Amino acid sequence: MPIPEVAESFTGAVNRVTLGATKDDGGTRTKTVTVGGARNVVYGGSPEEAGETPVVAMDVLDTKPEDWPDALAEPLSDVLDSPGDWAKKCVEELGADLICLKFEGIHPDKADKDAAHAVKVTEEVLKAVAVPLVLWGCGNDEKDNEVMPKVSGAAKGEKCLIGTVTEDNYKSLTAIALADGHFLITEAPLDINIAKQVNILASDMGFPLDRIVTYQSTGALGYGIEYAYSIQERQRLAALGGDKMMAMPVICDVGYESWRAKEAKLEDAPGWGAVDDRGPMWETATAICLLQAGVDIIRLRHPKAVATVKGFIGKVWS
């Protein structure tokens, strides 16, 4: 006797968030990107419950990366000195849906660039591409509090996604994102309770819940991916269960985490396969795993990974 199919019914849904502002909306983007909207788990329910198609954001750094392995840097070597050209290549040649401008160069332990540098790069990338931007700080609270408000102001009216804010450092950037009309990334260290708490804190400052995207620290394949998957899954189930404080779309930083793994970049590794293929495969496998947990925005770096992941998305969400 065949087993009957059971369609799980949920009362809640993931918020829909539309990034980017066109001319009619006071910005300069020629397209917007909408994420979220799922009313079921991935592969669950009807196609109408799947929500918006997940999107790929390609990383562009504000300064030339000096620590990238050759397998990652080589395909982008002609543009790594110019954030504008880099962003343009990602969009026009590689098919990026969003550009994530990562301000690594402002970190005190790296190039320690100032706010004027960050503003100049922001304006350069805004001029170079017409897709929405993600503006991502360096992770040093003191420097981000100094620089990111200026970055936010330089992109005022463009409805960017800006972050990240944490439980201990949320007030400044939340207020600035609210004033400048941006969307906010709330961050948690793979902890669903902290994620909810950061959302509550931002909400208590008057920030609308439907302008928040959440970010849980991302583990790469072989480095905590099972735990990262389970947290993303629990977060999605909480949203579908009707928890308004957990109903936000999710972004994951796959590119950075994947290329930290020695399996992705170690050249002297007999039996592991060619490093030029291994790194992109590590990034691709990590991304596809997290997409199946319900992630809405995937940050990637290598062109091969972007092409494969976009192909997967096209087949599953078509």
Is the pLDDT at 316 greater than 60? The verdict is yes
Q: Domains in the chain and their CATH numbers?
A: 16-316 (3.20.20.20)
- What pLDDT shows up at residue 8? 66
Percent of the chain with pLDDT over 70: 97
Cis preceding-peptide flag for 164 (omega within 30 of 0)? yes
For the residues 120-130, what does the mean pLDDT come to? 98
Q: What is the pTM of this model?
A: 0.96
Task: Report the mean per-residue pLDDT for the chain.
Answer: 95
For the residues 188-198, what does the mean pLDDT come to? 96
- What pLDDT shows up at residue 6? 43
Residue 313 bridge partners (DSSP)? none
Question: Residue 205: which pLDDT band, with cuts at 50, 70 and 90?
Answer: very high
pLDDT tens string 221-266: 999 899 999 999 999 999 999 999 999 999 999 999 999 999 999 9
- What pLDDT shows up at residue 268? 85
pLDDT tens string 68-101: 999 999 999 999 999 999 999 999 999 999 999 9
